[in-house]
Amino acid sequence: MNDASTTPAVPRSESSARPAGVLSVFDAIVIMVGLVVGVGIFKTPSIVAANVASEWAFIGVWIAGGLITLVGALCYAELASAEPHAGGEYHFLSRAYGKPVAMLFGWARCTVIQTGAIAAVAFMLGDYISQILPLGAYSSAIYAALSVLFFTGVNIIGTTQSKTLQVLVTFIEIGALAAVILFGFFGSATAPVAPAPTLPVETAALGTAMIFVLLTYGGWNEAAYLTGELKDARRNIPKVLALGSFILIALYTLANLALLSILGLEGLRTSEAVAADMMRVVAGPSGETIVTLAVVVAAVSTLNATIFTGSRVFYAMAQDLPALRWVGVWDGRGKTPANGHITQGVITLALIAMGAITRDGFKAMVDYTAPVFWGFLLLVGVAVFVMRWRYPDRRPPYRVPLYPVTPILFCLTCAYMLHASVMYTGVAGLAGLAVLAAGLPILLLRKKADAPIVAAALRDDVST
């Protein structure tokens, strides 16, 4: 029989508090779109343009990125409908491969993938605010750190407050993107766009272009972390992922066509802030200021949503490691993993400090996260096959269409992107892989955590 005296006392409000179904399909789609729009659409088109050889190739990679996103979303929909959980991918990997792989992913997400993504978005926000009110050489980093502190605080206060803020800023950012699209298609240039040297075909790096296109679409997979709080998650998560993906494809394709129609490929290559530059050409300085403010709101949306979903894996991972018990407390009052938010914020601030010493903090964070992100996304794609093999009798409410072609395409894309990210990200990418390797000792903590459980089970068997 277990000795109750050996179990640490936990306040009832903490031990009984669990994720609850408070999000509707509409809420989840808004969070998903808010996660994605603003991460890169106002920053990465210039990088993509610099790595393709023609305007057709420029639009082609954006459409291809959207189709890849849709294929991945359909694969995730099967996993999420079968295994809805606040831990999202952490839970999928645990069910498919066991706790050690899940724990390593948890470490990677906490120290590289999610915190690096938050830092990247924060740097982008800092870049745009610095155009309005510069604070010196480290202006972007200062604004990035302040924004992480503020929105972490909002999310600690509670899920309802964070959700309300997300709905508001997401509609503002969609309005800003719609304005860019309309001005691009129906406006006319009032000033000439400075030409840039033509990029030779042989120097165009398609792999680099796809890294940044898929980064711009990145965030759709975060919807998996909403399933612990989504109403009727098994049936509704496929709707969220599919509808959200179609909205993103439409917005991004139209936005890039609009940017291309005004700035041209050469203008895009030299632009540091594509939306602001386009509006300056079409509507003058006032248009540039308005769209810069709108882009700030868009970055706020992405940052808030990324912080919202990121803390959920801290919560899930802590359930498997007694050493992290404090991190795994769910705040019943605010309906949020408050301690997970605090831990996530501290790590993100450390990454912002690291990025501040580079020339471009945003790009440094993208390079830092890319290899690790695509490696684990490949494992999640393979998990579709593993879960069907391990649980042949289970019939989830949704199954990915055209199986096995769909998950095979997704896995091949992830494998290609893993290779491309290792080849093109340089020192920052290697740093991310080194941090991943540094997490291997966490598996020892898992074994130590399992030992008392096994021993207790053996004692129970003997006593009975």
The whole-number pLDDT of residue 18 equals 53
Using the 8-state DSSP alphabet, how is residue 83 labeled?
Answer: S
The whole-number pLDDT of residue 192 equals 44
| CA 401/CA 410 separation, integer angstroms | 13
- 275: alpha, beta or left? (left if phi > 0; alpha if psi -120 to 50): alpha
The ranges assigned to domains in the chain are 20-448
| CA 351/CA 332 separation, integer angstroms | 30
Two structure tokens written together for 410:
């997704």
The whole-number pLDDT of residue 389 equals 92
How many DSSP H helices and E strands does the chain contain? 18, 0
Q: Do the beta carbons of residue 215 and residue 39 sit within 8 Å?
A: yes
- 334: alpha, beta or left? (left if phi > 0; alpha if psi -120 to 50): alpha
What torsion do the CA atoms of 364, 365, 368, 370 make, to the nearest 10 degrees? -110
| CA 76/CA 73 separation, integer angstroms | 5
- Residues 144-202 have pLDDT tens digits of 899 899 888 877 776 565 667 777 777 777 777 787 788 777 765 544 444 444 444 43
Kindly report the CATH number that applies to the domain delimited by 20-448.
1.20.1740.10
| CA 432/CA 156 separation, integer angstroms | 27
pTM of the model: 0.74
Low-confidence ranges of the chain (pLDDT < 70): 1-22, 38-39, 86, 158-163, 187-205, 286-287, 313, 315-336, 359, 442-464
- Residues 359-394 have pLDDT tens digits of 677 778 888 888 999 999 999 999 999 999 988 888
| CA 365/CA 347 separation, integer angstroms | 13
The whole-number pLDDT of residue 39 equals 56
Instruction: Measure Cα distances from 251 to 66, 126, 324 in Å.
Output: 10, 24, 41
Two structure tokens written together for 129:
């605010």
